[in-house]
Chains A and B, each alone.
Chain A
Amino acid sequence: MTTSPVPVIDVTGLRKRYGRVEALADLTMTVEPGEVFGFLGPNGAGKTTTVKLLLGLARPSGGRGRVLGAPLGDREARRRIGYLPELFRYQPWLRAREVLALHADLMGLPAAGRGRAFDDALELVGLTDRASDSVGGFSKGMQQRLGLGVALVGEPALVVLDEPTSALDPLGRIDVRGILRTARDRGTAVFLNSHLLSEVEQVCDRVAIIDRGRVVAEGPLAAVLGEEETRIRTEGLAPPGLAALQAFEPLRLDGSDLVARELAAERVPELVAALVVLGIRVHGVTSGRESLEQRFLQLVGRDREGAA
């Protein structure tokens, strides 16, 4: 599949009010073709509202946006979008394969090649053996797998997945990561709405963190996570002791951990030696970027403090 230079999602200043409640305040973001984009936020941040606006299931109160180069909710664009809702439910009287056939009909997929497309989708989500079983007999996890298959059938240009692993066990979550990578390899852009940070961290190329209807951080994962830091687990270090370590600034204390930013790798042993000279006991040293969870808490927590 060829990629288009036009962003698959491009929204500016998108707003949505439900009565007196402002679900989205000012959402601006871009998703490029073929990337896995993680959309993160705490409960009630406006994630599902955003998804519904992108798909034309709800109307924006303001702002503008385009999906696959067309206005929000455009019918022709929806032909090339797959969607797994957070509240996923499929006709319980249909068989798994019939659900795929229904959605293929609605998408207007050509009859030729449908059988192969259904087989591929069912195999991808691990439901090949249950293709002829009624959906009514499926567990929630199996229904969510079917929903993933429905979203991916027909090789859409964009799939929008709203909390796609909420009903899955740990093995199922690992499978989903593989499914997302497969979709990306096929050239499909993935908009992954999730609050499971580890999931996002492992598969997403870029992320946006949203809180109270606004994007508080957006960009490649490495950029959102920020610079590397060195964390030294210590015993006996108090804030006055930091004065003796000015040569290694910027430093901060996080509980009993000493955290150094922008510290070159070759200077880490020097810092440890300085601590030992000061009589501080050192229990461990780790270097790396912040985890997405730490960054998320920092952003959302800072925003909350600012609002308070």
Chain B
Amino acid sequence: MITIARLTIGEAARRRILWVLIALAIVAVAITGWGVDRLVSAARDSGSSPLTIQLGVSQILIFIAFMFSFVLAMTAAFLGSPAIATDIESGIALALLARPIRRSSYLLGRWLGLALVLAAYGAGSGLLAILVVGWVSGYMPPSIWLPLAYVVGQGLVVLALSLLLSTRLPPIGAGAVAVVAFGLAWMAGSIERVGVAIAAGNPGVDLSIIGQLGRVILPTDGLWRGVIYGLEPGVVIAAASGQPLAEANPFFAASPPSAELVAWSVAWAVLVMGAAAISLRRREL
């Protein structure tokens, strides 16, 4: 497994995937820093209070995190979906799997290598973005590590799904399904929150089942709520909690993900990787 993980990381470095990701992160953070700096300067010039500026910056940071979480999920899908399928299609897997290596070890090695690349990219560029925004605006979120952990967690969940699909589908198909599933999970969570606002005036309406079902099938949206919660200032949480319209906002979270959701996310990834191992073991090469 370690040999395959090392091979996978080496592949990412030699094929310039790592360097492209690092370059993209630097460019994205530089543009973000410049944009936030301009906005904060304009707000200060127009006489906005420091509190107003902090609230505005926190919302901008959440928008940036939203875009980044999508980029990270796409990265996970496009790293994971060809990982097994391309090896099988090209014949590389024939030479590798004829060696005394379990197919599950090969799969886990692929996951571990890609997970390390993804986590380093996600945590590194996310941390850099938070620090740069904090430097130019003076706003530091209540937690730095929690939103980073949740956003990386989202990526790892999508990576596990992509690898499962990669054991059976061609790379493009596996990647497309993983990205669409990620988008649908986010939409299910958004519909649930809109449902909360509607239910406030219509007690008979309950759309929470959509969100609950979505989180069971793919827990990424539940983890995304953790990213939002970690980036919000306490004053926003205190003021907006319990307000139906605020609760409907897909960029607001009144509470962090429950321990059950976090546990389910870990169990989900383990189950999906188990399914991937069975799928690969049964696959005729």
Q: Give residues in A with beta carbon < 8 Å to B.
A: 18, 52, 55-59, 75-76, 78-79, 81, 83-85, 87-91, 93-94, 102-103, 105-108, 147, 150
Contact (Cβ within 8 A) B91 A102: no
Using Cβ atoms and an 8 Å threshold, which residues of chain B touch A90? 92, 95
Contact across chains for B95 and A52 when beta carbons are under 8 A apart: no
The reply on B260 being an interface residue by CB < 8 A is no
User: In the assembled complex, which residues on chain A have CB atoms less than 8 Å from the CB atom of B100?
Assistant: 75-76, 78-79, 106-108
CB distance from A72 to the nearest CB of B (A): 12
- The interface residues of chain A lying within 8 Å CB-to-CB of B284 are 18, 52, 57-59
Partner of B285, one of A57, A75, A79, A108: A57
Q: How far is the CA of A89 from the CA of B97 in the complex (A)?
A: 13
B6-14, B152-160, B219-227, B266-274 - interface stretch? B6-14
Q: Give the docked Cα–Cα distance between A103 and B101 (Å).
A: 11
A-B contacts, 11 listed (Cβ < 8 Å): A56-B98, A75-B101, A75-B102, A78-B99, A79-B100, A81-B98, A87-B94, A89-B95, A90-B92, A91-B92, A147-B95
With the chains together, A143 CA to B285 CA distance in Å? 21
Which A-B residue pairs are the 10 nearest by beta carbons? Answer: A87-B91, A93-B14, A106-B99, A85-B94, A89-B91, A57-B285, A83-B98, A79-B100, A75-B100, A78-B100
- Specify which chain A residues have a CB less than 8 angstroms from the CB of B98 in the assembled complex: 55-57, 78, 81, 83, 85
Neighbouring A residues of B255 by C-beta, 8 Å: none
Shortest distance between the CB of B4 and any CB in chain A (Å): 8
Inside 8 A of A52's CB, which chain B residues have their CB? 284-285
> Nearest residue in A to B92 (C-beta to C-beta)?
A89
- Given A87-B94, A89-B92, 12 other A-B contacts at CB below 8 A? A78-B98, A78-B100, A85-B95, A88-B91, A89-B90, A91-B92, A93-B14, A94-B10, A102-B3, A102-B7, A107-B100, A147-B95
Check if A83 sits within 8 Å of B95, measured CB to CB.
yes
Chain B residue numbers with a CB within 8 Å of A79 are 99-100
* A162 (CB) vs chain B CBs: closest residue: B94
A150 touches B285 (CB 8 A): no
- Given A58-B285, A106-B3, A106-B101: A93 and B15 interface contact (C-beta under 8 Å): yes
Smallest Cβ-Cβ distance to B12: which chain A residue? A93
Flag if B10 contacts A93 (CB, 8 Å). yes
Task: Look across to chain B and name the residue whose beta carbon is closest to the beta carbon of A160.
Answer: B98
Q: How far apart sit A234 and B285, CA to CA, in the bound complex (Å)?
A: 53
Q: Which of A59, A94, A106 contacts B96 (CB 8 A)?
A: A106
Name A105's contact: one of B3, B11, B94, B95 (CB within 8 Å). Answer: B3
Q: Give A94 to B96 CA distance when docked, in angstroms.
A: 14
Interface residues in B95-114 (C-beta closer than 8 Å to A): 95-102
Min CB gap B98→A, angstroms: 4
Give the interface centre of A52, A59, A106, A107 by most chain B CB atoms within 10 Å: A106
Roughly how many angstroms separate A56 CA and B93 CA in the complex, as a whole number? 13
Chain B hits for A150, CB < 8 A: 95
Q: Can you list, as one digit per residue, whether each of B1-32 has a CB less than 8 Å from chain A (1) or not (0)?
A: 00100010011001100000000000000000
Q: Is the CB of A85 within 8 A of B11?
A: no
Residue in B91, B94, B285 with the greatest tally of chain A CB atoms within 10 Å: B94
Return the chain A residue nearest B102 by Cβ.
A75
